[in-house]
Amino acid sequence: MTTVESPYLEYLHAKYRFPRSLVHRSIHRFLRGYLHPAPPGTRVLDAGCGNGIETGPYADRLVVCGIDYQPTYIAHCRAAYPRARYAVADLGRLCFADASFDLIVLNQVIEHLAEPVRVVAELARVLGPGGRLLVATPNYGGFGWPLVEATYHRWCVGEFDAEENHVTRYRSASLREHLGASLVVEQVRTICASLILVGAARKPEAGPGG
């Protein structure tokens, strides 16, 4: 295991410890609902992979690729999940060919993006026909998440300031709009007592002509 240097990486390592586990295990169950039944050989992109914990364990059965902008995160993931492939990359300008993946995970990343619609369009480009994009993000459409930021995050999570780092604050309608600009939205709903929004959007199957 590599030495942890990033405060946010330390934050990610602790996300399955109570009380953070209340939120993160709900997200894990949502993602697992797609990853666990995926056929062997399914090509998975973890876009903004962090410490790789959501997709790395599937690399013995699925073809997992993780990308992030932080070399520290990528170094950790390569050591922790050697069967997966990892690279430093910009989500807005991916080096992958069209239709390179069957499933893309964007877990608690979209809220950090200054141009989320452009990134979703780029992710849609590298999705194959019928492929899905899975998204999880804090829900700013209710009182729950803002309360978490004002209390728990402010006083107990000194290594990460959500209020400062969440550039785009999603509600159900805005997440549906941003996903729907490039993909067919299958669902947008809340989980974990409405603290978190999750969404699934699909790339249409290719028509008879292409």
- How far is residue 19's CA from residue 99's CA, in Å, rounded to a whole number? 39
Q: Where are the alpha helices (DSSP H) in 50-115?
A: 71-80
112-168 pLDDT, tens digit per residue, is: 999 999 999 999 999 999 999 999 999 999 887 778 776 755 555 555 555 557 889
Predicted TM-score of the model (pTM)? 0.88
**What single-letter amino acid sits at 82?**
P
Q: Report the run of H or E that residue 9 belongs to, with start and end.
A: helix 7-13
Domains of the chain from N-terminus onward: 7-202 (3.40.50.150)
- How far is residue 176's CA from residue 197's CA, in Å, rounded to a whole number? 10
- How far is residue 169's CA from residue 138's CA, in Å, rounded to a whole number? 8
Identify the segments of the chain with pLDDT beneath 70: 1-20, 150, 152-164, 207-210
- How far is residue 171's CA from residue 85's CA, in Å, rounded to a whole number? 33
**Residue 2: predicted pLDDT:** 35
**Residue 147: predicted pLDDT:** 80
